[in-house]
Each structure stands twice: as structure tokens, then as C-alpha cells.
Amino acid sequence: MLDATPRKLVEVRDLKMHFPIYAGILRKRVGEVKAVDGVSFDIFAGETLGLVGESGCGKSTCGRAILRLYDITDGSVKIDGAEIGDTPQGGLRKMRPTMQMVFQDPQASLNPRMTVEAIIGEPLMEHTDLSRDKRRDRVHELMDAVGLNRTFSNRYPHEFSGGQRQRIGIARALALNPKFIVCDEPIAALDVSIQAQVVNLLEDLQEKFDLTYLFISHDLSMVRHIADRVAVMYLGKVVELSPREALYAEPLHPYTKALLSAVPEPDPDMTTEDRVILQGDVPSPSNPPQGCNFCTRCPAVMDICHREDPEFREVQPGRFVACHHYNQTAGDTAASEDNKSIQQGETT
Ligand SMILES: Nc1ncnc2c1ncn2[C@@H]1O[C@H](COP(=O)(O)OP(=O)(O)O)[C@@H](O)[C@H]1O
Ligand SMILES: [Mg+2]
């Protein structure tokens, strides 16, 4: 449960991660992929913040940038009050134990030549001076915590099922008692039949070890079960952030509405007219549209959306949205004029 005044464990402000694109024999820089393009949110201690959006919208890059697996292009990342956005890679070493990542594909993220004991014990080797015996004890403890039989500690990753391999990855992430874990689609590569087990394990571990999660998923209905609050990403930006209940009960952003109406859950109240079908593809993050990133596909697009990038702001207590439909201030007059022109059937 969250306290009355929750403590901010992670504070992300205007985070940008642009990857350069090079071309030609001279490898000239010809552009950049704006994978994450100005993202701001907080994650409170003990909570799970869900980060959702279609494939390619920048979720993984965002998670990795927050953990400083990249040198970020711009912005600020504070973990427990300490700014790490501009810390050189060498200086991050002592921060690493407090923040960890669980990857989507346990097959690819575990070294096939290492035994389970070596894999889980590797962070202990790197960051502690535990003796070999103490390290083994700790590895066994971690295997117990994630429900792996300790007698398997000398086996190799390929000898395990997908679900068990993900447990190995989780045990490794837990080895140094982290506070914050980015779970990047941790169950997406697993059989449906074992997805729930891994989700339940992550929830149990969160309670037991007081963990804070950024839980990345492309699946809104999955996040509903695990997240306290949900951030919706589109083309490198967070378009809406809301407590879970409010988001699913009354999505604000047209993109969230579209995503939710695509979730195949039987809802007797939903008529076919309520369904929003998105037209077209996600534009390229190397060439995002002018104005609002969603303007090319938005069913409720207005004139101003093609001109101005909407500000990400709090429109109801705890509810943030980046959409001109919710702008009460500067864009107000323009927005209402646009509304009129929409009613008159003028589309631009
Ligand atoms: N290392 C990289 N170099 C260049 N482009 C990248 C790199 N990593 C990701 N991208 C691009 O950034 C965008 C966002 O990718 P990603 O963060 O993996 O999205 P998601 O996790 O939401 O599917 C994509 O267009 C992807 O091709
Ligand atoms: Mg991803």
C-alpha cells in the first residue's frame, strides 16, 4: 500500500534519448531516431508504474535510459534524490546495485556457458567481496526466493524452461538488494500458461523486498493487473499518466481510448460506435509529425494539433495528459475555434 504522502524514488524530467543515424562512406550523421523525446514522470517508492504502448514507441529505450544503460541525450533522472542523468558511466558503478533490469527474453539475456550459480552470483562477484562459500549461500537463498530448486545450481540455462529461465534472471536482478527494478516485458516471451506465475512471483517479491517497479508491457490488459499507475507512451512521448482505476474507467487521451477499445474484453456497455479503430501506421521516430505526435492518426484531431506540440500537464488531480482537448489556458481559444470547424465538417 502507498503512504498518504508517497516518497518519490525515481524522478524523470524531460528525458530524451536520440540515436544518431549515419550514412554514406564518410559515415556522416544524417539524422536521429528520437526513441524517447521528452518524457517526465515520477515513480513512488513501493509502487508499480506500468509503461505501455505499441511496439517501437520507445518503452525499452526509456527503461534503459533511466537505468543509464545509455548516455542520455538530455534531461534529468533522479534516483532517491541523487541526479544520475549526467553521471559519467564510471561513476555509475556504485549506483548500479540499487537499480536493476529484468529482460524480456531470458534466453538471450543469460550467458549459455555459465551455470545458474555463476549467473546469479556474478553481480556478487563484481560488487561485493563475499567469500566463495558466502556467495554460494546467497545464491541458494536467491534461488529459494524465486522458487528454483537449489540442487539445480550447477546446471546451464538451456536445461531450464522459459519460465524457470526468467526466474534465474529475476534472482540475478535481486542479488544486490536493489530498490528499483525495470521489468521490460518480463512475460512477453513466455507461454501464456506460465505468465501468471511469473507475474505473481514479481508481486510477491515486491512485497517481501519492498521493491519499486517500472513494468513495461505492450499489453494494456496485462498491466491492469499489476500496475498502481499507468503511463501510456506514443512515439517517444508519454501521452497520458493516471492511476490505474481512473485510466481504465475513463481514458482521457484519444490514443489511450483507442488502445483500450482494441482490448478484446467483453464489455456489454460498449457499442460498436464506441470502438476507435486507428488508421495508418505509427510514424517514424526519425521523422515525427509536426505538432502533436499523434495528429496523423488521431480521430479527434484539431487544427492546432498540426501546429503545436501539446504540453504534458496535470488536468485532474494525479491525472496527466498531453492533448490540446484538455488545454484550458493558452490554446483555449484556438482549440474552441478548431472544435467549431470540426463541427462544421471542415477537416484539415
Ligand atoms: N540502439 C539503438 N539504435 C538506434 N535506434 C534504436 C536503438 N534502440 C532502439 N532504437 C529505435 O528506437 C525506437 C524505440 O525502440 P524501443 O525502445 O525498443 O521500443 P519498444 O520497447 O517500445 O518496442 C525504435 O524505432 C527502435 O528502432
Ligand atoms: Mg521493447
| Domain range list for the chain | 8-250, 257-348
Contact between 214 and 183 (Cβ < 8 Å):
yes
- The continuous run of DSSP H or E covering 140 comes out as helix 132-145
Specify the ligand 1 atom closest to the Cα of 285: 25
Ligand 1 center from residue 152 Cα (angstroms): 36
| Residue of minimum CA distance from atom 6 in ligand 1 | 19
β-strands 229-234, 28-44 pairing: unpaired
Digit-by-digit pLDDT tens for the chain (348 residues) are 555 678 999 999 999 999 999 998 888 999 999 999 999 999 999 999 999 999 999 999 999 999 999 999 999 999 999 999 999 999 999 889 999 999 988 778 899 999 999 999 999 999 999 999 999 999 999 999 999 999 999 999 999 999 999 999 999 999 999 999 999 999 998 999 899 999 999 999 999 999 999 999 999 988 999 999 999 999 999 999 999 999 999 999 999 999 998 766 555 565 555 677 787 888 999 999 999 999 999 999 999 999 999 999 999 999 999 999 998 654 444 444 444 443 444 443
In whole angstroms, give the CA distance from residue 66 to residue 215.
13
**Residue with the three cell numbers 559515415:** 27
In whole angstroms, give the CA distance from residue 101 to residue 216.
11
In whole angstroms, give the CA distance from residue 48 to residue 60.
16
Assigned C-alpha cell, 187: 512475460
Ligand 1, pocket residues at CB < 6 Å: 19, 33, 35, 53, 55-61, 285
pLDDT at 239: 98
Specify the ligand 1 atom closest to the Cα of 21: 4
Assigned C-alpha cell, 252: 482521457
Residue 19: CB atoms within 10 Å: 15
Assigned C-alpha cell, 17: 534519448
Q: In testing the pocket of ligand 1, which one of 15, 17, 18, 19 has its CB within 8 Å of the most ligand atoms? A: 19
Fold of 8-250: Rossmann fold (3.40.50)
**Residue with the three cell numbers 460498449:** 270
| Residue of minimum CA distance from atom 27 in ligand 1 | 56
- The pTM assigned to this predicted structure is 0.90
Residue 154: CB atoms within 10 Å: 10
- The continuous run of DSSP H or E covering 107 comes out as helix 106-109
| Residue of minimum CA distance from atom 14 in ligand 1 | 58
Ligand 1 center from residue 35 Cα (angstroms): 6
AA identity, residue 178: P
In whole angstroms, give the CA distance from residue 207 to residue 266.
32
Q: Among candidates 58, 44, 50, which has minimal Cα distance to 4?
A: 44
Q: Is 91 in a helix, a strand, or coil?
A: helix
Residue 6: CB atoms within 10 Å: 15
Specify the ligand 1 atom closest to the Cα of 63: 17
Q: Among candidates 194, 196, 197, 139, which has minimal Cα distance to 171?
A: 139
Ligand 1 center from residue 58 Cα (angstroms): 6
Specify the ligand 1 atom closest to the Cα of 185: 21
Q: What's the angle, vertex CA 207, arms to CA 203 and CA 209, rounded to 5?
A: 110
Specify the ligand 1 atom closest to the Cα of 58: 17
- Which residues, in sequence order, are bridge partners of residue 237? 234
Contact between 12 and 238 (Cβ < 8 Å):
no
| Residue of minimum CA distance from atom 4 in ligand 1 | 19
| Residue of minimum CA distance from atom 5 in ligand 1 | 19
Distances (CA, A) of 254 to 149, 257, 302, 329, 335: 47, 5, 12, 20, 15
pLDDT at 307: 96
